[in-house]
Amino acid sequence: MDLATHRNTLGLSLEECAVALGLSPTSKGWLSEIENGRRSASLRLALRIETWSKGKVPAASVCPEIEAIRPARKRA
């Protein structure tokens, strides 16, 4: 699931989502750019998003660089 879908499923605005992630409410524009793929999240924020979403939004979906530091996951 992507970040925008998860946020909408929870019924959160961009501002509310930013606050839930520990960002300032004014970070909603930055969060919008991450959702739309125009910007990558930092490693720290990507891991925070994954934890906040309980794994529904993988860190790699908002920060492609995360794959360079994570071991490959085995598929069942």
Q: What pLDDT score does 47 carry?
A: 95
Q: What pLDDT score does 70 carry?
A: 73
Element (H, E) at 70: none
- Does the pLDDT at position 75 exceed 60? no
| pLDDT tens digits for range 18-62 | 999 999 999 999 999 999 999 999 999 999 999 999 999 999 999
φ/ψ region of 39 (left if φ > 0, alpha if ψ in -120 to 50, else beta) reads: beta
Could you give all domains of the chain from N- to C-terminal order, each with its CATH number? Answer: 3-68 (1.10.260)
Q: What pLDDT score does 67 carry?
A: 82
Q: What pLDDT score does 1 carry?
A: 95
- Does the pLDDT at position 76 exceed 70? no
